[in-house]
Structure formats: structure tokens, C-alpha cells
Amino acid sequence: MQLIGEETTAANGITELTDHPTWIIDPLDGTTNFVHGSGKEFDITSQRVAASNPYVKDAFVEALKEAE
């Protein structure tokens, strides 16, 4: 299992995707809006990549949790 977070990157800045199940965590989607208190929406999301083709930036993901 692989875990990729906003602060998790390889030394070259590119995280390698593998055939293993991968969780992608974005602890606060809309960070800029949250930090500046703009009143715009932000949320917390967790997703598991079901299939991905990074060469064409295509991915099928399953939304597991969205905080309101």
C-alpha cells in the first residue's frame, strides 16, 4: 500500500505511482481560501486510486470521505 500526501513527494518532486493500492490524502482542499478566511468553500478529502495512467494525467478514483 502506498500513501501520498500534500507534503509527501520524492526527492525530485515527482511521486512514483505503482500497481499497489494507493491512498491520496489532501488534508484541506481549498487551503488558500481557508488561510485567508475568504468564506469560500474548503473540505477534507480522502481518495483511493483504483486505476491511474499518469502519462495522460488520467485517474479513476473512489471518493471515500468528504467532510462538510
Question: Binding site: which residues?
Answer: 6, 26, 28-29
| Domain span including residue 35 | 2-67
User: What pLDDT score does 67 carry?
Assistant: 44
Summarised one tens digit per residue, pLDDT across range 2-47 is 777 766 666 666 777 777 777 776 666 566 666 666 655 555 555 5
Which residue has better confidence, 19 or 54? 19
Please list the helix, strand and coil fractions of the chain in percent, rounded to the nearest 5, in that order. 10, 45, 45
* Residue set of the binding site for Mg(2+): 6, 26, 28-29
Q: With bands split at pLDDT 50, 70 and 90, how would you rate the model's confidence at 66?
A: very low
Domain count, the chain: 1
Q: What is the DSSP letter of 16?
A: P
Task: Provide the pLDDT for residue 2.
Answer: 76
Q: What pLDDT is stored for residue 23 in this prediction? A: 75
Q: Is the dihedral of CA 26, 67, 32, 63 positive or negative?
A: positive
User: In Å, how far from its chain's centre is CA 52?
Assistant: 13
